[in-house]
Amino acid sequence: MATEDPLRSKVLTGSQVGELSAGTTFVATAERPIDASGKVKGRFSLGPRANRVLGLLSPLLIVALWETASQTGVVDARFFPPPTEIAETFWHMLTHDAQGTPLPFLNMLTESVLMKDLWVSLSRIIVGFFLGAVPGLIIGLSMGLFRPVRLLLRPIVSATYPIPKLALLPLVMVLFGLGETSKYVIIALGTFFMVLINTMAGVLNLEKIYLDVAKNFGASRTDFYTRVAFPGAMPLIFTGLELGMGMALLLIVAAEMNGAAEGIGARVWMSYAIYNLREMYVAFILIAALGYLFAEGLAALERKVVPWKPQ
């Protein structure tokens, strides 16, 4: 009897069951055949292209509402400039240098206000990120693999991790000056803890049996790092990298608040000082774009590096 089929069981509930006379052959048929385009008939579903369109619909709707509200004066256009004006500013910043001179197309990528801000912040984020992620990874693996290392370092990590990195900014500036180094250091600090804690958790979450296998098969100390702990903890290492990246974006704005002439963070504070909110919104767009690109990049890298995780 095909009574286990959830679709069919409906037919067989209640008094209807009794109506099936003895000797009836019950034939189960698929009530929801899947057609060639991968849709299940009878259920609300769109093709993959339509799904993507649906995902774009809500941001477009918000932008349209914003534009109308700002143009009609429902919201204050000084605080919420219409998106078209922001786009105009965006274009101006992309095509002109700091003196307001128009740039030939080829020089835009390096000399325009917008691209300069972008490159400066990007290099700070990348350098700081690696300065934090690499030691975070190594110490995290060591703390996960070796109990004495864990016992030795855990109190320090637990005590320093909760200190808001923003609170450390003045100290970092005193120690490392107002130049690039202090920016690298503050971003590195934020990334370091995220990567360290997640890497350690990744190793500690490994089934003990994998360590037994490695030991029985004669793995050296290096093998424990490179062949067991590192690949095994990889999914959580990526979680750490993603959180570290978020932290870096958060800290860059604060780090560029003082003593920086260029960079996305500096742009936010300068536009605040001169009350040019349109430029501030352009900076927001840049930060959002960076965050999106980093997240997508890390996700693509993860698919490549961790092909063994069932999707």
Pairwise CA distance, residues 240 & 137, whole Å: 9
According to the binding rule CB under 8 A, does residue 147 interact with other proteins? no
Binder among 67, 88, 111, 223 for other proteins (CB under 8 A): 223
Q: Which two tokens stand for residue 157?
A: 């990590």
Give the binding range for other proteins (CB under 8 A) out of 88-96, 135-143, 193-201, 213-221: 213-221
- Phi first, then psi, for residue 34 (nearest 5°) are -95, 125
| Rounded least distance, CB 144 to other proteins, Å | 15
According to the binding rule CB under 8 A, does residue 212 interact with other proteins? yes
| Rounded least distance, CB 202 to other proteins, Å | 12
Q: Which two tokens stand for residue 190?
A: 């934020």
142-232-223 Cα angle (round to 5): 60
According to the binding rule CB under 8 A, does residue 310 interact with other proteins? yes
Give the binding range for other proteins (CB under 8 A) out of 33-41, 153-161, 203-211, 263-271: 203-211
Pairwise CA distance, residues 146 & 298, whole Å: 28
Pairwise CA distance, residues 281 & 115, whole Å: 15
Binder among 215, 272, 288, 292 for other proteins (CB under 8 A): 215
According to the binding rule CB under 8 A, does residue 220 interact with other proteins? yes
Q: Which two tokens stand for residue 310?
A: 């069932």
| Rounded least distance, CB 209 to other proteins, Å | 5
Whether the Cβ atoms of residue 66 and residue 90 lie closer than 8 Å to each other: no
Binder among 91, 161, 210, 272 for other proteins (CB under 8 A): 210
Under DSSP, the state recorded for 22 is T
Under DSSP, the state recorded for 28 is -
According to the binding rule CB under 8 A, does residue 225 interact with other proteins? no
Q: Which two tokens stand for residue 239?
A: 């979680």
Binder among 108, 131, 214, 298 for other proteins (CB under 8 A): 214
- Phi first, then psi, for residue 296 (nearest 5°) are -65, -40
According to the binding rule CB under 8 A, does residue 301 interact with other proteins? no
Give one DSSP letter per residue of 124-189, joined into a string: HHHHHHHHHHHHHHHHHHHHHH-HHHHHHHHHHHHHHTTS-HHHHHHHHHHHH-SSHHHHHHHHHH
| Rounded least distance, CB 214 to other proteins, Å | 8
Q: What part of residues 231-260 is at the interface with other proteins (CB under 8 A)? A: 231-232, 234
According to the binding rule CB under 8 A, does residue 204 interact with other proteins? no
| Rounded least distance, CB 164 to other proteins, Å | 35
Residue 155, helix vs strand vs coil: helix
Give the binding range for other proteins (CB under 8 A) out of 10-18, 164-172, 185-193, 210-218: 210-218
According to the binding rule CB under 8 A, does residue 296 interact with other proteins? no
Residues of this chain that interact with other proteins (CB under 8 A) are 207, 209-210, 212-220, 223, 227-228, 231-232, 234, 306-310
